[in-house]
Amino acid sequence: MTCQGVQAQILGVGSYVPEKVLSNKDLEQMVDTNDEWITSRTGIKERRIAAENQASSDLGAEAGKIAVKNAGISPEDIDLIIVATSTPDMYFPSTACLIQDKLGCTNAAAFDLAAGCTGFIYAMVAAEQFIKSGTARYALVIGAEVLSRIVNWEDRSTCVLFGDGAGAVVLGAGPEGEGIIASHLAAEGSGSQLLTLPCSGSRISSNEEAAANKAYISMQGREVFKFAVRVMEEGTKKVLEKAGLSKEDVNLVIPHQANIRIIEHYAKKMKIPKEKIVANVDKYGNTSAASIPLALDEALQQGRIKPGYDILMIGFGAGLTWGAAVVRWA
């Protein structure tokens, strides 16, 4: 039963990135590329790389710990953990269960969600339903990725793009008119072949095939670019319509950090001023499901988010999927 007048509100935010920095200059020593080529085409200058003993649950737990602390609650108060990831520690147990144990969230149900780079938006909207129905009082939503493990470091078209990191939010009940005031989720499975990790499930069972360069990210970059700019515009219009807002009403836009050219194209097409866009792709690269919460936490720490601000979050990714949410900051 839905609790009348209850909205899901962001109570705490946290993020974590590994210590190791891999710069474009470093990549010049690894593959046939250069800093100018990478920067001009992607806007990326460096990315973080997980240590050998770090997996997605380690990064996610660090981000989650900070988010719980910033929410002013204890780990035992968390009723639900959803982890959005394309790079789980393993197929099972879920990364969410591993994080539950690491954080001591002994009262929480836990599961993973796979929606590519849109994963955090999907997970946040899923958790919202638990909050609004009264099934959960507090939900911890995490985007965590160790993409460096599925990147072919000999493929210059993809290895320059991705990085590792995690971001998290704690959702709890708030009054109507605050928190997540509108959302829009969508998928286009007919384009699934544009962004894949071929040897990662039951479709391919041969170890020989796994060794034949099918254990890495495969992306048709030009087509993904076209998809991204199309659905970011579409998603923005639909979620703002649901929220009853115009683009001028939005105080801050936090897009998925895949490529600065996509972000700039989107901002120009939608006529959104540069100062309203959060972009940190230069420092972290594409961290998939972690990118939006990472950027959210950075914007918060920089003082760019104030009470009453309407914040638009929008992402796109493998599936193909896309999604958007408008959050009114409390």
> Which of 70, 159, 199, 256 is the catalytic position?
256
The CATH number of domain 181-328 is 3.40.47.10? yes
**C-alpha to C-alpha distance for 323 and 60, rounded to whole angstroms:** 21
CATH of domain 6-177: 3.40.47.10
pLDDT of the residue at 6: 86
Q: Is 207 a catalytic residue?
A: no
Residues 34, 253 contacting (CB under 8 angstroms): no
pLDDT of the residue at 1: 44
- CATH 3.40.47.10 residue ranges of the chain are 6-177, 181-328
Q: Would strands 46-49 and 179-187 be described as parallel, antiparallel, or unpaired? A: unpaired
pLDDT of the residue at 71: 98
Q: Is 256 a catalytic residue?
A: yes
> Which of 24, 70, 259, 286 is the catalytic position?
286
pLDDT of the residue at 201: 84
> Which of 97, 117, 159, 199 is the catalytic position?
117
Laid out side by side, the sheet with 252-255 consists of 179-187, 321-328, 310-317, 252-255
What is the pLDDT tens value at each position of the chain, 330 positions in all?
Answer: 456 678 999 999 999 999 999 999 999 999 999 999 999 999 999 999 999 999 999 999 999 999 999 999 999 999 999 999 999 999 999 999 999 999 999 999 999 999 999 999 999 999 999 999 999 999 999 999 999 999 999 999 999 999 999 999 999 999 989 999 999 999 999 999 999 998 888 887 666 655 555 789 999 999 999 999 999 999 999 999 999 999 999 999 999 999 999 999 999 999 999 999 999 999 999 999 999 999 999 999 999 999 999 999 999 999 999 999 999 999
Q: Of 242, 239, 244, 241, which Cα lies nearest the Cα of 253? A: 239
pLDDT of the residue at 202: 83
Number of H helices, E strands in the chain: 10, 13
Tokens of 309: 């601000």
